[in-house]
Structure 1
Amino acid sequence: MFCQECVLQSHTNNPLHRIDMWNNLFFQRSTLKQMGLCVQLGHEPGERCYNPHPSAGDDFIVIDVHGMHEIALDFCGCASAQIRYKQLLCAQWYPATTSDPRTAATFTLLEHFYILSFESKVSAYEFYHSLARQNNNAGLSHIRDRYSAFMRMIHKWRHLRQLHRAGRGHDPAGAKATTAGELAVQCPACPHPGKNIPQDWQNEPLLVRWKYALFIAIDANFRLKRKAVSSDNRDPSLNSGWAYFVEEAAYKSYLADQAGAKQDCSTCVSHNAVNMADTKSSHGLAATGVGAVDCARHDMKLVNGVGDLQKGKKYINMDYLVFSALLAFTVTMINISYDIACQWHKKLWTRMEAMPPRLHISHTSMTVRFFRTLTNVNEKFSFNWSKHVGRIDGEAPERRWSNINRVATSTKEMGPGSRHDTLDDHFGDWNWKKVMVLGQTLLRKISDTVKWKKEHGEGLAELERTIQPTLILQWRTEVEAWEEDGSQPNPNGIPAITQAAVHLQLAELEAHELQAGTNVSLHTDISPSRLITTGIDLQDQQQRLKTDMANASLHPMDKQKTTMQTRVTALQRQLDAWARVQELYMPIVSQFHQRSSEAGVMNTMPLKPESFKLWLPSELQPTVSCDKKLAAHKWDLRHTQALDALNEVASTRAQALIEGVEMRKRASVDKYRRARNALLALGYQLDKSGWDISLPPLLDSDVRPMGDMERQGTGTISWIWLDSHVDNSSSENERVQDCVRVEWCKVCACANRWSEEVELLLEEMRRVIVFLKWQAEWWGGKHSSRASESAAEQEGLAAYACRQAMLCLSLVASFQALWKDVPKFVSATLEIPLDSEDEPTIDAQPQLYN
């Protein structure tokens, strides 16, 4: 408790404190302004100004972390006084405008919101109104709205912080001399010629040079929309292409020039985003999303690799962004991943010719490879099957979007400049956080990778012990030939006759018979082969329904009951319709149906289509006559069904972690056993023999993945992996089945990729250290790069440069301490002699390059 005079005297240095005054009943809120305090700028606290200039117009508002404060403010009017906005800056109050400022925010508040927006993604609107409620939570007092002013201050604060951290204040030419991408935080683990890779890297053999390749990933985000509000003139970007977004004027000019160009349609059946580009709704939107180019290995946005999209994933947008991002690099080996790379890379170099000359790259003297980020894609575009790429999924943009999507709601309402600069700042913060944790990130990766390399290497060796050496040599030669020349036969696939292929053959056969006049169909719409095909499909539906009913909840909801009953009814109708046609081709079954349905029973019992007897040819007793053609059709279909089911059982080896795989595996096993039982019955009728050698009984103990042999080192393989097409004429010519060859290719490719990943990670660790040392030296050069008339300003410039240089060196020391045991760990785990020429090194002192 103080008297009014003491309160005013003690708050000369704290003019933004809140004051409560006892009114004999309770503490009532008051202000220092109401008590008579006036803030004098341009002088030390308590020092008298002989020419004070009161703030004109409305009361001056200062926003800080405790709310908004109305204060009485006098600017200094002495002859030596600085301009008014600089007087506010000296008090660490940031003005909303440089001319006649009436609103300011404390540096503490702006920095608080700055960090909070990165971590919680809170919007400026929400933050501002939370401050307003601290002043006026009851709505009884009135303070003029300063939200627009707050938005301007935040916009400029973000921009100045980016200039500050990029060293633009140390450039004698000032901020206007900033070049494209100079404000971006670069990835220190990526290859930067002249900064972190050797000067003669281009002369290295491919065995070494592949580690200097650049990995980039392309993707689009359609949540980062922007409404058609404001304009570039009213809300210009302060960064103007200096960070991650491309320079807007040149970008829009290029898009306008290419507006009439027709985009090639996609021929890929698994990705239709290209064809749907023009169908996306853009009503009321100035941008339907953003496209971006990322560092694929380290999840960082690349310089000038981000731009707005107008309608979908159009090639002209993504082309511009990719070539714009590549301007910051001079490497000659580039690996590009994109979910539509199989379509996008076609005619890419032809489209490049229509772009501005500054974006052209000499692709004829470069190695550019394209990959798809989706799984189970064509081997030509798969990271898994390509050498010199390590272990990478190419999904960096997807992980990045999950973080930035939380600001989509607020940036959607912004003008073009504010939105670009806000997103630029968020991208920069993400990159910086990635740099800070590179020590832990790369340490975790190298620890996991070394273990995986060892495990896959041992698995490959164990697998090869079960295969003839001549076969391994042959397969390795085929793989190497295919890796060098993609036009060579691909050894990774399995040529097989599938059920679909047999269906086609039967359909073509019936068409030929119809043309020749020998068709024996007894139904206008359903042929004999169609009858058997449909019967087998119905049998599969019965099995799925039975499985789903067994796994149903004990207390199903009404909606679940309705869905199940609908399935039951629909299947029963299909079975009844099929049975009526079946009687035309197999009259004998009418007797079986009549025996099984006693009078009145069908009307009283509930429907059980899963138990309906189909009486397919294989289910008839050998003594019961059946059309040989129907039996032959079923034999062909059941034989291929057994092979398909066997392949499905084997395919589950790589899906051990996928939810529900056990159920799918069991369904495939049941399908194989049903097909084999049918073959047993049909074999007697059709005098088939020898087929049971390639399709033996499938026991539960046989259904184990190849991975069991790799991980447990049992040295044995289930028969499902061995050749089922044995040459009976020569017992010594038994060979391994095609699926074993493919499995060897997969295990070999995995072992190679993990081995490459170890080399890449060690190289990236070295590059990080070298880049940070280069950056420290760069900041050291800024110590006295700009001369200032003020000694204090010169001292401040030098101090900031020294602090930034020390920050880089501190990161170097931290990372080296984390990685000090990595060489020994790699050598010990992989049994690499420490005195070998290939000894991994992290703590080397490489030359810094100009």
Structure 2
Amino acid sequence: MVAEYHVAWQQKKLRWFLPLIYDVWEEQWSERQALWPELLLTIKLTPTQEWECRQLKRTCRQDYPLLVWLAQDRDNFLSELICLEGQGHVSDICGDCRTLDPHFRCEDCFGVIMYCQDCIIKEHHQHPLHHLEYWTGSYFECRSLRDLGLWIQLGHHVGGRCYRPCPIARDDFTVIHSNGVHSVSLDFCSCKSAEALFQQLLRICWFPASSKKPHTAATFNVLQQFHLLSFKSKVSAFEFYQSLSCISDNTGLNRPKDRYKQFLCIVRQWHHLKLLKHTGHGHDPLGVSNTKQGNCALLCPACPHPGKNLPQDWRSIKPEKQFLYSLFVTLDTNFRLKRRAVSKDSNDPSLSEGWAYFVEESAYKLYLSCHTNDIQEVRLDSTGIGIVVCARHGMKLANGVRDLQKGERYVNMDYLFALALSGTTVDRLNILYDITCQWHKSLYQRMMSLPQEVQLDLSAKHISFFVLKFHLPTHIMPCQWKYSFNWTCGVGHTDDEVPEHGWAHINPVGSSTKVMGPGHRRDTIDDFFGDWNWKKSIALDFEELKKSLSFKYPEQLSTWQQQVEDWEDDLSKPNPFEVKEISITQANICLWLTMEEAQASQSSLEPPLHPNISPSILISAGVDLEDQQLHLRTNLTKLGLHATDAQKAKMQQRSNALACCIEVWMKMHTLYIPGMAAFAPEDIPLYLPLQINCKFSCSHNLESIKFQLQEGQANDALNELHQGLQSIVYMLKFKDRFLCGQGANTRACNCLKNVDAKIDLSVAKYHAAHRALCTLGPLLGKVGWKTAL
């Protein structure tokens, strides 16, 4: 009997959608028709398809979790949510004192437990910022712990009594937490041994907005949450605070007091203190004021830093090895990080002026004031930023960021370049810049016009100039060979477009920083660049790898390092990167077996069973026929339901030819192992040694030959798989880089499918050979073959 079903899916996806059809058998499909009216199809299921549906149900149920949830569990989920709007299945006695008729529950505590008023206050002395709900008899309404009489006493342990409490004026103290904005009742301690008011707040992990008479504080939890969230989602402080306000009251009828300005001030102080703490300046005996320019920037651990990560004799290294201690830097600009002409440095100074990545503002502006061509964009205080980046690892250099006033002028980039490299004593510099062919001209003379403390002595350094690879094709032909990485020794395959990767990370921040004051903007961008450098340095875990190798394989590592060093010094010595071990192939096995049989025939007195077909030839031909069967079976599977007559005829011709070959082979087969049955050509069992039943006789020699040939076949399959995977990687890179348009991409996808089919065939061949080896290995006592296979 044929059944009709409405299915929201494409016809070609029917096979994978069948389990869902069966899953919702005799369900009402009117809801699905409303959800997907443009995709509804009427599909008739035959009894065979219904059986297939049941078979695929278990394996494919999780392929469509959302649709299964929609069909089966949506109503149950909704019922549970509605149940929680009332008392639901909660007990009608207090969860602590066991009295009847409790009215309060906490939204933030674990579990849904009802309490009386006295018990819920007692339970929340250590959780004064939780949200409570009061059961009126018909519904829950919001209540605060402050309304119930909870009072917070600072300066003493939780629950302790203070004999000289100092209440807040107007009993008005606001706390910003990750679950909203709260008004709390709070007393400071004014005992003789009491700390300052801001210290009392900091010691309970509340950050005050003022150090004199604080009325607002933010918890460390919410500050840490916003800090990390801003790095990942680029959310602004305004958006984050508004979301906290909506958590407290999303109706707008009883919004908490607006403490956005106080929160903004706290966030700036928090980020600044975190910067000093993470860079170790909190332990300076002379205090934070002793911090020097660029000291709070995180240096690239992989770049050369004399006195830190270079050997003592790095200057006396051989000339051909000096490139190992070269510093690669890239100059670039970004005109999306603009800043409008709002506020000024006197009203909004930077908290860490010049300590991290931005240069110090006063000295920079004094230098610019000496140049008469200082032009400012109308309505913009900054048209973008210039930057100096480590070209090998993408990390920002200390004092390597600066605002631009009008385009990409030499006066800005010269100062930035000199200041970023003023602290390095490396002798070799590789400078990358998209306009380096023009910028480097007269660079030595322009360095002399910079302030004395910034001037960079370029005459004592070996400097090479390059144009970034992506920008190089737009330059004239002489630039393309003069400033190219491809024709220069000692630079490797440097990814010189690393600044572009960093811009993708920082550009979304531009929408909020463009309306900030000058100091706030610089501190914010410093903070983001610090996070970028931190994540980069964490990803450079090669030093830990080297230590682990030295610990686990000390002798092998020292031997290998010596081989590499010897080869680098003298290329005529053995190359340690060259693959020396060649896997055994099926052709090698056939040659060895043929040579062994030739020697055995000369010394043996017994005549062979066949003058032209030796045991090795028989088994080798059988293995080849197995391979042909696998290819034919795979191609028949790919024909599908809509194969043309020409395709079917071609497959039939291959099947007939294979049947003839097997028939000839079987005549020789009966000489060694009698007994067989009739099958289709692609399914004929060839009765090779591992397939022989115990009631048939098979010589030990045939089993040994079969084992050796299957070992060679498994190695061949692994080599083919390796070549196929390499081809896939190359073709994907070629497609992504050079091909565009529907036609070219379609042809490329067809080529990829062909290579992928060959990979699947190699995998099937390997599995078949491996199964044969696992069967024959124990019979022949073969061990150790699994090490290579």
Structure 1 length-normalised TM? 0.50
Asked if 1:13 corresponds to 2:13, the answer is no
- 1:122 CA displacement: 1.2
User: C-alpha deviations, 1:190-249, integer Å up to 9, x for none?
Assistant: 000000111221222221111101000010000111111111111110111000000111
| 8 Å CA contact 2:293, 2:356 repeated in 1 | yes
| 8 Å CA contact 2:245, 2:255 repeated in 1 | no
- 1:656 CA displacement: 7.6
Number of paired residues? 444
Alignment of 1:363-374 (within 5 A): 363-373=458-468, 374=471
Amino acid paired to 2:461:
M
Alignment of 1:155-194 (within 5 A): 155-194=268-307
User: C-alpha deviations, 1:288-314, integer Å up to 9, x for none?
Assistant: 110000000000000000000111101
| 8 Å CA contact 2:332, 2:433 repeated in 1 | yes
Structure 1 equivalent of residue 206 of structure 2: 93
Amino acid paired to 1:355:
L
Q: Distance in 1 between matches of 2:486 and 2:545?
A: 23
Asked if 1:225 corresponds to 2:368, the answer is no
Question: Is the radius of gyration larger for structure 1 or structure 2?
Answer: 2
Call closer, same or farther: CA 1:664–1:145 in 2, change over 3 Å.
closer
SS in structure 2 of the partner of residue 357 of structure 1: coil
Match of residue 659, structure 1, among 738, 741, 744: 738
Q: Distance in 1 between matches of 2:137 and 2:742?
A: 78
Structure 2 equivalent of residue 435 of structure 1: 537
SS in structure 2 of the partner of residue 365 of structure 1: coil
Amino acid paired to 1:339:
D
Match of residue 235, structure 1, among 321, 330, 348: 348
Match of residue 361, structure 1, among 436, 456, 459: 456
Answer with 198-207 or 149-158: which moved more.
198-207
Amino acid paired to 1:437:
A
User: C-alpha deviations, 1:458-498, integer Å up to 9, x for none?
Assistant: xxxxxxxxxxxxxxxxxxxxxxxxxxxxxxxxxxxxxxxxx
Alignment of 1:686-725 (within 5 A): none
Instruction: Give me the CA root mean square deviation.
Output: 2.7
Amino acid paired to 2:240:
F
Could you tell me the percent identity over the aligned residues?
48
Match of residue 292, structure 1, among 367, 370, 387: 387
User: C-alpha deviations, 1:99-138, integer Å up to 9, x for none?
Assistant: 2111111001100111111111111111111101001210
Amino acid paired to 1:350:
Q
Amino acid paired to 1:345:
H
Structure 2 equivalent of residue 828 of structure 1: none
Structure 2 equivalent of residue 202 of structure 1: 315
Call closer, same or farther: CA 1:70–1:661 in 2, change over 3 Å.
closer
Amino acid paired to 1:283:
V
Q: Distance in 2 between matches of 1:658 and 1:386?
A: 24
SS in structure 2 of the partner of residue 232 of structure 1: coil
- 1:282 CA displacement: 2.6
| 8 Å CA contact 1:383, 1:393 repeated in 2 | no
- 1:441 CA displacement: 12
Call closer, same or farther: CA 1:201–1:660 in 2, change over 3 Å.
same
Q: Distance in 2 between matches of 1:45 and 1:350?
A: 68
Structure 1 equivalent of residue 367 of structure 2: 254
Asked if 1:347 corresponds to 2:442, the answer is yes
- 1:366 CA displacement: 0.8
Alignment of 1:424-573 (within 5 A): 424-439=526-541
- 1:389 CA displacement: 0.8
Structure 1 equivalent of residue 503 of structure 2: 401
| 8 Å CA contact 1:294, 1:305 repeated in 2 | yes
| 8 Å CA contact 1:20, 1:30 repeated in 2 | yes
Structure 2 equivalent of residue 145 of structure 1: 258
| 8 Å CA contact 1:655, 1:661 repeated in 2 | no
Amino acid paired to 1:329:
T
Call closer, same or farther: CA 1:21–1:174 in 2, change over 3 Å.
same
- 1:395 CA displacement: 1.1
| 8 Å CA contact 2:331, 2:386 repeated in 1 | yes
User: C-alpha deviations, 1:793-840, integer Å up to 9, x for none?
Assistant: xxxxxxxxxxxxxxxxxxxxxxxxxxxxxxxxxxxxxxxxxxxxxxxx
SS in structure 1 of the partner of residue 238 of structure 2: helix
Greater relative contact order (Cα < 8 A, sep 6+): 1
Q: Distance in 2 between matches of 1:196 and 1:660?
A: 44
SS in structure 1 of the partner of residue 397 of structure 2: strand
| 8 Å CA contact 1:245, 1:306 repeated in 2 | yes
User: C-alpha deviations, 1:418-442, integer Å up to 9, x for none?
Assistant: 1111110100100110111113799
| 8 Å CA contact 2:299, 2:397 repeated in 1 | yes
Match of residue 482, structure 2, among 380, 384, 392: 380
SS in structure 1 of the partner of residue 187 of structure 2: strand
| 8 Å CA contact 1:289, 1:310 repeated in 2 | yes
Match of residue 337, structure 1, among 432, 449, 458: 432
Match of residue 521, structure 2, among 404, 409, 419: 419
| 8 Å CA contact 2:171, 2:186 repeated in 1 | no
SS in structure 1 of the partner of residue 453 of structure 2: helix
| 8 Å CA contact 2:248, 2:255 repeated in 1 | no
Match of residue 416, structure 2, among 312, 321, 326: 321
Match of residue 165, structure 2, among 47, 52, 68: 52
SS in structure 2 of the partner of residue 408 of structure 1: helix
- 1:659 CA displacement: 3.4
| 8 Å CA contact 2:386, 2:403 repeated in 1 | yes
User: C-alpha deviations, 1:251-305, integer Å up to 9, x for none?
Assistant: 11111112348xxxxxxxxxxxxxxxx7xx9321111110000000000000000
Structure 2 equivalent of residue 488 of structure 1: none
| 8 Å CA contact 1:323, 1:360 repeated in 2 | yes
| 8 Å CA contact 1:319, 1:352 repeated in 2 | yes
Q: Any gaps of 5 or more consecutive residues in structure 1?
A: 262-277, 445-449, 458-653, 666-850
Q: Distance in 1 between matches of 2:516 and 2:266?
A: 15
Structure 2 equivalent of residue 825 of structure 1: none
Structure 1 equivalent of residue 215 of structure 2: 102
- 1:387 CA displacement: 1.2
Amino acid paired to 2:421:
L
Amino acid paired to 2:223:
L
Call closer, same or farther: CA 1:213–1:13 in 2, change over 3 Å.
same
Q: Any gaps of 5 or more consecutive residues in structure 2?
A: 1-113, 547-563, 572-732, 745-789
Call closer, same or farther: CA 1:385–1:21 in 2, change over 3 Å.
same
SS in structure 1 of the partner of residue 486 of structure 2: coil
Asked if 1:77 corresponds to 2:156, the answer is no
Answer with 102-111 or 22-31: which moved more.
22-31
| 8 Å CA contact 1:64, 1:106 repeated in 2 | yes
Alignment of 1:583-732 (within 5 A): 658-660=737-739
| 8 Å CA contact 1:291, 1:306 repeated in 2 | yes
Asked if 1:390 corresponds to 2:478, the answer is no
Structure 2 equivalent of residue 679 of structure 1: none
Q: Distance in 2 between matches of 1:79 and 1:65?
A: 34
Call closer, same or farther: CA 1:391–1:139 in 2, change over 3 Å.
same
SS in structure 1 of the partner of residue 148 of structure 2: coil
Q: Distance in 1 between matches of 2:544 and 2:401?
A: 26
Q: Distance in 1 between matches of 2:217 and 2:459?
A: 56
User: C-alpha deviations, 1:761-797, integer Å up to 9, x for none?
Assistant: xxxxxxxxxxxxxxxxxxxxxxxxxxxxxxxxxxxxx
Q: Distance in 1 between matches of 2:267 and 2:741?
A: 54
Call closer, same or farther: CA 1:395–1:354 in 2, change over 3 Å.
same
Structure 1 equivalent of residue 239 of structure 2: 126
Structure 2 equivalent of residue 590 of structure 1: none
Amino acid paired to 2:349:
P
User: C-alpha deviations, 1:323-360, integer Å up to 9, x for none?
Assistant: 11102311011001000101111111111111111112
